[in-house]
């Protein structure tokens, strides 16, 4: 233990009603890439926030380089050599790269000197970045580089990375891994948080698995299969979705030249999107978040009206139809954001069943709600999709993410959609629930429905799609059969082609 850079001993942190970390102990060696694995809610975030000085543990202690380490705030943690790249960037779009980096430093050097140091570091680690560019013009991958370089300028001994690849194309992931390996080679330790198991297997030498706040396993991820790692996280064996290669039939949904302006300053305009969706087909739409996924779903679900002729359902122009009129025809949707969009968190599951179920399940008559029937519908969803809840009157917000997602997906699937559009069906869902949801989507298509799955999880899309395309800045790539695609081709479709040339070192 003496050669460890950071040692955690018996860290425990409880919040009202939940124990986030319970007696967590492990250590990270110098120059090691250490993975922290666990499902959502397993306590990974609390643990790294403890190391970074954002959370104080109730009991337990930390040792950094053999000395007691209890940072009172992130500034103290940085001073001790701990740096962190967050999943969500904290950058100002209207400032340039150097200015953003200076803002995040405790003692920024003069601008000219800083720009020089940014160039040096970015070249040394193969992260090309021009200090004078506006952050607003950068891609997500480039923005992450800004955050990483901001950390590297402090010469950290431990770099914490929280889900760094969720916003990156496969090519950008390669660049990042190249950098991380180089850093580790120079002796910097990296604590790497991700739920993408293949990444962890290729990058990390050691892994600590958390479940319900406790360390349940430590292993060398290179010696395990992704499936074994997933089973350690979940604690049960996993079911792999199966598809029965369905024949595709008539065109159900036809989108032709769909263009829509951005709904707000922060939205993405849709540009000339065209595709046909056939009965029995699963169309996977990949792409990095913020490239028009929400906007496409809103245009298909009817939350936003569309100019005439752009969206047809079985040949009928439905662009002006509102959500319930589209539901009546058989076009159902499940948005990405569970709390506040797909479901109302403060309302009961019964009330949330009414939220989309009214039209097709006839839950009202003359405007009056038949609560008994609504409750039955909610109970059927809970039953059919194994939603773990005390009952139908539980508030949606009280369910775990995975259980609520099963409820949201089940609510739509039980209404027998002819076309089902779903955005991020398994985002933040544990592996067992994700497998169940994917199987339900495949079963639906086997029965002759057309399904559009919008997702950032490429493995998921490859597993369930017949055809694949990607959204990039509101446009879609040419649609290709999914089975012939290589990961490189997918990356190019996702728009990873830009600025690749200079980046490959």
354 binds other proteins (CB under 8 A): yes
> Shortest Cβ distance from residue 500 to other proteins (Å)?
36
Name residues contacting other proteins, limited to 355-384 (CB under 8 A).
355-356, 358-359, 364, 367-369, 371
> Shortest Cβ distance from residue 324 to other proteins (Å)?
4
CB 445, CB 451: distance < 8 Å = yes
Q: How far apart are CA 216 and CA 208, in angstroms?
A: 8
From the number of C-beta atoms within 10 Å of its C-beta (0-12, 13-18, 19+), residue 74 rates as: middle
Q: Which of 117, 181, 243, 341 binds other proteins (CB under 8 A)?
A: 341
Residue 255, beta-bridge partner list:
275, 311
Residue in 413, 474, 484, 423 with CA at minimum distance from that of residue 449 = 413
Q: How far apart are CA 192 and CA 155, in angstroms?
A: 18
Where helices occur in 271-348 by DSSP H, the ranges are 293-301, 323-329
Name residues contacting other proteins, limited to 396-415 (CB under 8 A).
398
Q: Which of 2, 16, 137, 247 binds other proteins (CB under 8 A)?
A: 16
246 binds other proteins (CB under 8 A): no
CB 323, CB 297: distance < 8 Å = no
Q: Select 237 or 365, whichever has its Cβ closest to other proteins.
A: 365
Name residues contacting other proteins, limited to 70-89 (CB under 8 A).
70, 72
CB 219, CB 187: distance < 8 Å = no
CB 127, CB 149: distance < 8 Å = yes
330: left (phi > 0), else alpha (psi -120 to 50), else beta? left
Name residues contacting other proteins, limited to 317-336 (CB under 8 A).
322-324, 327, 333, 335
Q: Select 281 or 294, whichever has its Cβ closest to other proteins.
A: 294
Q: How far apart are CA 51 and CA 6, in angstroms?
A: 9
Residue in 453, 416, 449 with CA at minimum distance from that of residue 437 = 453
> Shortest Cβ distance from residue 268 to other proteins (Å)?
17
Q: Which of 30, 263, 319, 345 binds other proteins (CB under 8 A)?
A: 345
Name residues contacting other proteins, limited to 273-302 (CB under 8 A).
301-302
359 is written with which tokens? 């039209």
Q: Which of 113, 346, 383, 386 binds other proteins (CB under 8 A)?
A: 346
> Shortest Cβ distance from residue 13 to other proteins (Å)?
11
Q: Which of 134, 395, 462, 492 binds other proteins (CB under 8 A)?
A: 395
Binding residues for other proteins, rule: CB under 8 A, are 16-17, 56, 70, 72, 301-303, 322-324, 327, 333, 335, 337, 339-347, 351, 354-356, 358-359, 364, 367-369, 371, 395, 398
């Amino acid at each position: 233990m003496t050669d460890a850079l950071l040692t955690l001993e018996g860290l425990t942190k409880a919040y009202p009603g939940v124990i986030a970390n319970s007696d967590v102990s492990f250590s990270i060696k110098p120059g090691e890439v250490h993975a922290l694995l666990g499902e959502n809610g397993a306590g990974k975030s609390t643990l790294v926030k403890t190391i970074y000085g954002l959370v104080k543990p109730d009991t337990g202690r930390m040792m950094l380089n053999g000395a007691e380490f209890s940072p009172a705030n992130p500034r103290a943690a940085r001073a001790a050599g701990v740096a962190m790249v967050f999943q969500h960037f904290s950058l100002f779009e209207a400032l340039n790269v150097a200015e953003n980096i200076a803002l995040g430093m405790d003692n920024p050097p003069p601008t000219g000197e800083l720009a020089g140091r940014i160039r040096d570091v970015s070249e040394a680690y193969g992260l090309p970045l021009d200090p004078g560019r506006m952050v607003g013009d950068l891609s997500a991958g480039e923005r992450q580089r800004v955050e990483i370089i901001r950390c590297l300028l402090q010469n950290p001994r431990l770099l914490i990375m929280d889900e760094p690849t969720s916003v990156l194309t496969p090519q950008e992931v390669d660049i990042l891994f190249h950098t991380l390996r180089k850093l580790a080679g120079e002796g910097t330790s990296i604590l790497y948080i991700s739920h993408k198991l293949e990444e962890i297997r290729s990058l990390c030498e050691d892994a600590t698995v958390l479940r319900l706040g406790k360390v349940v396993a430590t292993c060398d991820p290179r010696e395990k299969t992704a499936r074994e790692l997933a089973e350690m996280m979940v604690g049960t064996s996993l079911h792999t979705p199966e598809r029965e290669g369905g024949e595709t039939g008539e065109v159900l949904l036809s989108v032709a030249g769909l263009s829509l302006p951005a709904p707000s300053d922060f939205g993405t305009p849709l540009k000339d999107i065209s595709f046909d969706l056939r009965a029995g087909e699963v169309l996977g739409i990949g792409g990095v978040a913020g490239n028009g996924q929400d906007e496409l779903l809103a245009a298909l679900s009817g939350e936003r009206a569309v100019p005439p002729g752009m969206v047809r359902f079985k040949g009928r122009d439905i662009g002006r139809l509102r959500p319930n009129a589209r539901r009546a025809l058989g076009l159902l949707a499940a948005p990405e954001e569970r709390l506040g969009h797909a479901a109302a968190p403060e309302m009961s599951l019964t009330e949330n069943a009414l939220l989309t179920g009214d039209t097709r399940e006839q839950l009202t008559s003359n405007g009056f709600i038949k609560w008994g029937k609504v409750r039955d519908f909610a109970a059927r969803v809970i039953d059919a999709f194994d939603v773990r809840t005390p009952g139908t009157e539980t508030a949606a917000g009280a369910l775990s993410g995975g259980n609520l997602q099963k409820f949201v997906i089940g609510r739509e699937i039980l209404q027998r959609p002819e076309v089902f559009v779903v955005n991020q069906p398994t985002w933040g869902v544990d592996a067992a629930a994700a497998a169940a949801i994917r199987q339900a989507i495949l079963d639906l298509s086997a029965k002759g429905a057309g399904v559009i799955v919008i997702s950032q999880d490429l493995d998921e899309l490859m597993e369930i799609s017949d055809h694949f395309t990607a959204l990039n800045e509101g446009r879609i790539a040419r649609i290709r059969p999914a089975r012939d695609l290589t990961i490189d081709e997918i990356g190019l479709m996702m728009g990873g082609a830009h600025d690749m040339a200079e980046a490959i070192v």
